[in-house]
Protein backbone atom coordinates (compact mmCIF):
# COMPACT_ATOMS: atom_id res chain seq x y z
CA UNK A 1 0.00 0.00 0.00
CA UNK A 2 2.83 2.42 0.87
CA UNK A 3 4.45 1.78 -2.52
CA UNK A 4 1.16 2.44 -4.32
CA UNK A 5 0.54 5.66 -2.36
CA UNK A 6 4.14 6.77 -2.96
CA UNK A 7 3.69 6.20 -6.70
CA UNK A 8 0.50 8.28 -6.66
CA UNK A 9 2.31 10.97 -4.66
CA UNK A 10 5.19 11.11 -7.15
CA UNK A 11 2.73 11.45 -10.05
CA UNK A 12 0.29 13.69 -8.17
CA UNK A 13 0.18 16.48 -10.80
CA UNK A 14 -0.77 14.04 -13.56
CA UNK A 15 -3.17 12.10 -11.32
CA UNK A 16 -5.00 15.29 -10.33
CA UNK A 17 -5.42 16.27 -13.99
CA UNK A 18 -6.75 12.79 -14.73
CA UNK A 19 -9.10 13.24 -11.78
CA UNK A 20 -10.57 16.35 -13.43
CA UNK A 21 -11.32 14.25 -16.51
CA UNK A 22 -12.71 11.41 -14.41
CA UNK A 23 -15.32 13.57 -12.65
CA UNK A 24 -16.53 14.83 -16.03
CA UNK A 25 -17.47 11.32 -17.20
CA UNK A 26 -18.93 10.00 -13.93
CA UNK A 27 -21.78 12.42 -13.07
CA UNK A 28 -23.67 9.72 -11.13
CA UNK A 29 -20.78 9.47 -8.64
CA UNK A 30 -20.87 13.26 -8.20
CA UNK A 31 -24.57 13.12 -7.30
CA UNK A 32 -23.99 10.23 -4.92
CA UNK A 33 -21.17 12.01 -3.06
CA UNK A 34 -22.85 15.47 -2.91
CA UNK A 35 -24.29 14.88 0.62
CA UNK A 36 -20.79 13.97 1.83
CA UNK A 37 -19.31 17.33 0.80
CA UNK A 38 -19.13 18.84 4.35
CA UNK A 39 -17.24 15.76 5.56
CA UNK A 40 -14.90 15.85 2.54
CA UNK A 41 -14.16 19.55 3.16
CA UNK A 42 -13.22 18.65 6.74
CA UNK A 43 -11.16 15.66 5.54
CA UNK A 44 -9.05 17.71 3.11
CA UNK A 45 -8.45 20.29 5.86
CA UNK A 46 -7.63 17.48 8.29
CA UNK A 47 -4.98 16.02 5.97
CA UNK A 48 -3.30 19.44 5.90
CA UNK A 49 -3.52 19.74 9.70
CA UNK A 50 -2.02 16.24 10.12
CA UNK A 51 1.33 17.49 8.81
CA UNK A 52 1.57 20.34 11.32
CA UNK A 53 3.14 20.44 14.76
CA UNK A 54 0.33 22.35 16.44
CA UNK A 55 2.42 23.10 19.56
CA UNK A 56 4.91 25.07 17.47
CA UNK A 57 2.09 26.83 15.58
CA UNK A 58 0.33 27.85 18.81
CA UNK A 59 3.63 29.06 20.29
CA UNK A 60 4.17 31.35 17.32
CA UNK A 61 0.64 32.76 17.67
CA UNK A 62 1.56 33.74 21.24
CA UNK A 63 3.56 36.64 19.75
CA UNK A 64 0.81 39.28 19.92
CA UNK A 65 2.48 41.73 17.55
CA UNK A 66 2.98 39.08 14.86
CA UNK A 67 -0.56 37.75 15.33
CA UNK A 68 -2.04 41.24 14.91
CA UNK A 69 -0.02 41.67 11.70
CA UNK A 70 -1.32 38.36 10.40
CA UNK A 71 -4.87 39.32 11.38
CA UNK A 72 -4.43 42.52 9.36
CA UNK A 73 -3.51 40.39 6.34
CA UNK A 74 -6.59 38.21 6.91
CA UNK A 75 -8.86 41.26 7.07
CA UNK A 76 -7.24 42.58 3.88
CA UNK A 77 -7.74 39.27 2.10
CA UNK A 78 -11.36 38.82 3.16
CA UNK A 79 -13.71 41.72 4.13
CA UNK A 80 -11.62 44.50 2.57
CA UNK A 81 -11.24 42.59 -0.69
CA UNK A 82 -14.96 41.79 -0.59
CA UNK A 83 -15.94 45.46 -0.37
CA UNK A 84 -13.48 46.46 -3.12
CA UNK A 85 -14.60 43.75 -5.55
CA UNK A 86 -18.30 44.40 -5.06
CA UNK A 87 -17.83 48.18 -5.33
CA UNK A 88 -15.98 47.81 -8.65
CA UNK A 89 -18.56 45.30 -9.92
CA UNK A 90 -21.49 47.57 -9.13
CA UNK A 91 -19.68 50.66 -10.43
CA UNK A 92 -19.30 48.89 -13.78
CA UNK A 93 -23.00 47.97 -13.72
CA UNK A 94 -22.35 44.24 -14.17
CA UNK A 95 -24.84 41.45 -13.44
CA UNK A 96 -26.14 41.36 -9.86
CA UNK A 97 -26.72 37.60 -9.93
CA UNK A 98 -22.96 36.99 -10.03
CA UNK A 99 -22.18 39.15 -6.99
CA UNK A 100 -22.63 36.07 -4.80
CA UNK A 101 -19.64 34.50 -6.58
CA UNK A 102 -17.43 37.50 -5.77
CA UNK A 103 -18.48 37.42 -2.12
CA UNK A 104 -17.81 33.68 -1.90
CA UNK A 105 -14.33 34.19 -3.35
CA UNK A 106 -13.41 37.14 -1.13
CA UNK A 107 -14.94 35.67 2.04
CA UNK A 108 -13.08 32.35 1.69
CA UNK A 109 -9.74 31.66 3.42
CA UNK A 110 -6.69 30.57 1.45
CA UNK A 111 -6.68 26.98 0.20
CA UNK A 112 -5.96 24.43 2.95
CA UNK A 113 -2.99 23.13 0.95
CA UNK A 114 -1.53 26.63 0.38
CA UNK A 115 1.38 25.95 2.75
CA UNK A 116 2.27 22.74 0.89
CA UNK A 117 2.09 24.55 -2.46
CA UNK A 118 4.19 27.39 -1.08
CA UNK A 119 6.86 25.00 0.16
CA UNK A 120 6.82 23.10 -3.14
CA UNK A 121 7.34 26.32 -5.11
CA UNK A 122 10.01 27.81 -2.84
CA UNK A 123 7.82 30.59 -1.43
CA UNK A 124 7.60 31.76 2.18
CA UNK A 125 5.86 28.68 3.58
CA UNK A 126 5.82 29.90 7.18
CA UNK A 127 3.72 33.01 6.54
CA UNK A 128 1.50 30.98 4.22
CA UNK A 129 0.83 28.50 7.00
CA UNK A 130 0.19 31.22 9.58
CA UNK A 131 -2.20 33.29 7.45
CA UNK A 132 -4.06 30.22 6.18
CA UNK A 133 -4.59 28.84 9.69
CA UNK A 134 -5.67 32.18 11.15
CA UNK A 135 -8.03 32.91 8.23
CA UNK A 136 -9.56 29.43 8.50
CA UNK A 137 -10.07 29.73 12.25
CA UNK A 138 -11.58 33.21 11.87
CA UNK A 139 -13.79 32.23 8.93
CA UNK A 140 -16.96 31.41 10.94
CA UNK A 141 -16.98 35.06 12.06
CA UNK A 142 -15.43 36.94 9.13
CA UNK A 143 -17.12 34.91 6.36
CA UNK A 144 -20.77 35.53 7.34
CA UNK A 145 -19.84 39.13 8.22
CA UNK A 146 -18.78 39.70 4.59
CA UNK A 147 -22.25 38.65 3.40
CA UNK A 148 -23.86 40.98 5.95
CA UNK A 149 -21.62 43.93 5.00
CA UNK A 150 -22.45 43.63 1.31
CA UNK A 151 -26.13 42.89 1.97
CA UNK A 152 -26.21 39.66 -0.04
CA UNK A 153 -29.09 37.39 0.97
CA UNK A 154 -28.41 33.64 0.91
CA UNK A 155 -31.64 32.02 2.18
CA UNK A 156 -29.69 30.82 5.20
CA UNK A 157 -29.38 32.58 8.54
CA UNK A 158 -26.00 34.14 9.30
CA UNK A 159 -25.71 32.25 12.59
CA UNK A 160 -26.55 28.95 10.91
CA UNK A 161 -23.90 29.58 8.25
CA UNK A 162 -21.32 30.41 10.92
CA UNK A 163 -22.12 27.27 12.92
CA UNK A 164 -21.93 24.99 9.88
CA UNK A 165 -18.58 26.48 8.84
CA UNK A 166 -17.28 26.17 12.41
CA UNK A 167 -18.37 22.53 12.52
CA UNK A 168 -16.40 21.72 9.33
CA UNK A 169 -13.30 23.51 10.63
CA UNK A 170 -13.53 21.79 14.01
CA UNK A 171 -14.03 18.48 12.23
CA UNK A 172 -10.94 19.15 10.13
CA UNK A 173 -8.81 19.76 13.21
CA UNK A 174 -10.16 16.62 14.91
CA UNK A 175 -9.48 14.52 11.79
CA UNK A 176 -5.96 15.94 11.50
CA UNK A 177 -5.10 15.25 15.14
CA UNK A 178 -6.63 11.76 14.90
CA UNK A 179 -4.51 10.98 11.83
CA UNK A 180 -1.41 12.18 13.68
CA UNK A 181 -2.22 9.93 16.63
CA UNK A 182 -3.14 6.88 14.52
CA UNK A 183 -0.34 7.05 11.94
CA UNK A 184 2.21 8.98 13.99
CA UNK A 185 3.89 12.29 13.17
CA UNK A 186 7.23 10.53 12.63
CA UNK A 187 5.70 8.10 10.11
CA UNK A 188 4.04 10.98 8.25
CA UNK A 189 7.35 12.89 8.06
CA UNK A 190 9.27 9.77 7.00
CA UNK A 191 6.86 8.91 4.16
CA UNK A 192 6.09 12.26 2.51
CA UNK A 193 5.35 10.82 -0.95
CA UNK A 194 2.97 8.20 0.46
CA UNK A 195 1.13 10.92 2.38
CA UNK A 196 1.09 13.04 -0.78
CA UNK A 197 -0.54 10.07 -2.50
CA UNK A 198 -3.19 9.89 0.22
CA UNK A 199 -3.83 13.63 -0.14
CA UNK A 200 -4.05 13.28 -3.94
CA UNK A 201 -6.63 10.51 -3.73
CA UNK A 202 -8.69 12.46 -1.20
CA UNK A 203 -8.59 15.53 -3.47
CA UNK A 204 -9.93 13.51 -6.39
CA UNK A 205 -12.77 12.11 -4.26
CA UNK A 206 -13.37 15.67 -3.04
CA UNK A 207 -13.76 16.86 -6.65
CA UNK A 208 -16.78 14.67 -7.38
CA UNK A 209 -19.40 16.49 -5.25
CA UNK A 210 -18.04 19.83 -6.49
CA UNK A 211 -19.06 18.86 -10.03
CA UNK A 212 -22.56 17.66 -9.14
CA UNK A 213 -24.90 19.02 -11.83
CA UNK A 214 -22.13 21.10 -13.39
CA UNK A 215 -21.84 19.23 -16.70
CA UNK A 216 -25.61 19.45 -17.30
CA UNK A 217 -25.59 23.20 -16.62
CA UNK A 218 -22.61 23.73 -18.94
CA UNK A 219 -24.46 21.98 -21.77
CA UNK A 220 -27.60 24.06 -21.11
CA UNK A 221 -25.84 27.43 -20.64
CA UNK A 222 -22.45 27.26 -22.42
CA UNK A 223 -22.00 31.05 -22.75
CA UNK A 224 -22.76 31.80 -19.11
CA UNK A 225 -20.58 28.87 -18.03
CA UNK A 226 -17.69 30.24 -20.10
CA UNK A 227 -18.13 33.64 -18.45
CA UNK A 228 -17.98 32.06 -14.98
CA UNK A 229 -14.86 30.11 -15.95
CA UNK A 230 -13.20 33.35 -17.14
CA UNK A 231 -14.23 35.05 -13.88
CA UNK A 232 -12.76 32.21 -11.77
CA UNK A 233 -9.48 32.25 -13.70
CA UNK A 234 -9.28 36.06 -13.55
CA UNK A 235 -9.84 36.17 -9.79
CA UNK A 236 -7.30 33.40 -9.16
CA UNK A 237 -4.48 34.11 -11.60
CA UNK A 238 -5.16 37.84 -12.00
CA UNK A 239 -5.40 38.33 -8.23
CA UNK A 240 -2.27 36.26 -7.70
CA UNK A 241 -0.23 38.34 -10.17
CA UNK A 242 -1.59 41.67 -8.90
CA UNK A 243 -0.93 40.97 -5.22
CA UNK A 244 2.54 39.47 -5.72
CA UNK A 245 3.66 42.39 -7.91
CA UNK A 246 2.32 45.00 -5.48
CA UNK A 247 3.86 43.25 -2.47
CA UNK A 248 7.29 42.99 -4.10
CA UNK A 249 7.56 46.74 -3.55
CA UNK A 250 7.49 46.28 0.24
CA UNK A 251 8.81 42.78 0.96
CA UNK A 252 11.07 40.03 -0.42
CA UNK A 253 10.01 38.01 -3.50
CA UNK A 254 9.37 34.77 -1.58
CA UNK A 255 6.92 36.48 0.79
CA UNK A 256 5.30 38.49 -2.01
CA UNK A 257 4.80 35.33 -4.07
CA UNK A 258 3.31 33.54 -1.05
CA UNK A 259 0.82 36.37 -0.52
CA UNK A 260 -0.16 36.24 -4.19
CA UNK A 261 -0.58 32.48 -4.02
CA UNK A 262 -2.88 32.76 -0.99
CA UNK A 263 -4.93 35.59 -2.49
CA UNK A 264 -5.67 33.71 -5.70
CA UNK A 265 -6.19 30.20 -4.32
CA UNK A 266 -9.24 30.23 -2.05
CA UNK A 267 -11.11 27.46 -0.24
CA UNK A 268 -14.45 28.37 -1.85
CA UNK A 269 -15.79 24.84 -1.29
CA UNK A 270 -16.74 25.80 2.29
CA UNK A 271 -19.62 27.86 0.93
CA UNK A 272 -20.76 25.26 -1.57
CA UNK A 273 -21.17 22.93 1.43
CA UNK A 274 -23.33 25.34 3.46
CA UNK A 275 -25.26 27.50 0.98
CA UNK A 276 -28.45 26.35 -0.78
CA UNK A 277 -27.97 24.64 -4.16
CA UNK A 278 -27.12 27.28 -6.75
CA UNK A 279 -26.07 26.32 -10.31
CA UNK A 280 -23.94 29.45 -10.76
CA UNK A 281 -22.10 28.80 -7.48
CA UNK A 282 -21.56 25.14 -8.41
CA UNK A 283 -20.07 26.17 -11.77
CA UNK A 284 -17.86 28.79 -10.08
CA UNK A 285 -16.49 26.40 -7.44
CA UNK A 286 -15.85 23.72 -10.06
CA UNK A 287 -14.19 26.24 -12.41
CA UNK A 288 -12.02 27.51 -9.55
CA UNK A 289 -10.36 24.10 -9.30
CA UNK A 290 -8.78 24.49 -12.75
CA UNK A 291 -6.43 27.41 -11.93
CA UNK A 292 -5.84 25.94 -8.45
CA UNK A 293 -4.51 22.68 -9.89
CA UNK A 294 -2.59 24.55 -12.61
CA UNK A 295 -0.83 26.91 -10.19
CA UNK A 296 2.43 24.89 -9.82
CA UNK A 297 2.76 24.68 -13.62
CA UNK A 298 1.89 28.31 -14.31
CA UNK A 299 4.08 30.04 -11.75
CA UNK A 300 7.84 29.82 -11.58
CA UNK A 301 9.46 28.07 -8.65
CA UNK A 302 11.83 30.25 -6.61
CA UNK A 303 15.35 28.86 -6.43
CA UNK A 304 15.61 29.75 -2.73
CA UNK A 305 13.18 28.21 -0.25
CA UNK A 306 12.38 30.72 2.49
CA UNK A 307 10.60 29.55 5.61
CA UNK A 308 10.93 32.85 7.47
CA UNK A 309 8.23 35.55 7.47
* pLDDT tens-place string over residues 225-252: 999 999 999 999 999 999 999 999 998 9
23, 30 in Cβ contact below 8 A? yes
* pLDDT for 240: 94
Query: Which residues of the chain have a pLDDT value below 70?
Result: 154-155, 300-309
Three-class SS state of 63: coil
Alpha-carbon span 61 to 95, nearest angstrom: 41
* pLDDT for 195: 83
Long-range CB pairs of 235-242 (<8 Å, 24+ gap) are: 235/102, 235/105, 235/264, 235/288, 236/264, 236/265, 236/266, 236/288, 236/291, 236/292, 236/295, 237/264, 237/291, 237/298, 238/264, 239/263, 239/264, 240/264, 240/265, 240/295, 240/299
* pLDDT for 242: 95
* pLDDT for 98: 85
258, 299 in Cβ contact below 8 A? no
Q: What is the pTM of this model?
A: 0.84
Which among 159, 107, 118 has a CA at the least distance from the CA of 271?
107
Helix axes 192-210, 2-10, angle to 10 degrees: 70
Alpha-carbon span 247 to 241, nearest angstrom: 10
Alpha-carbon span 18 to 236, nearest angstrom: 21
284, 14 in Cβ contact below 8 A? no
Residue ranges of domains in the chain? 32-211+267-275
* pLDDT for 185: 81
Amino acid sequence: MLRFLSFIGQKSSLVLLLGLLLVAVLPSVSSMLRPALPFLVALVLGLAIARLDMRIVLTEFADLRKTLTLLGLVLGFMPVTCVILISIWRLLGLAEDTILLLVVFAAAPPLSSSASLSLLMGYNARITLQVTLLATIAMPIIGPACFAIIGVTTNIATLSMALQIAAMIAGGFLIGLAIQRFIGKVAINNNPQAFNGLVTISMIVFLFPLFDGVIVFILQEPIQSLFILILAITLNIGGNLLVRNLCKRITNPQTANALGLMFGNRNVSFYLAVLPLNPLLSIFVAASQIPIYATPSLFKRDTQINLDP
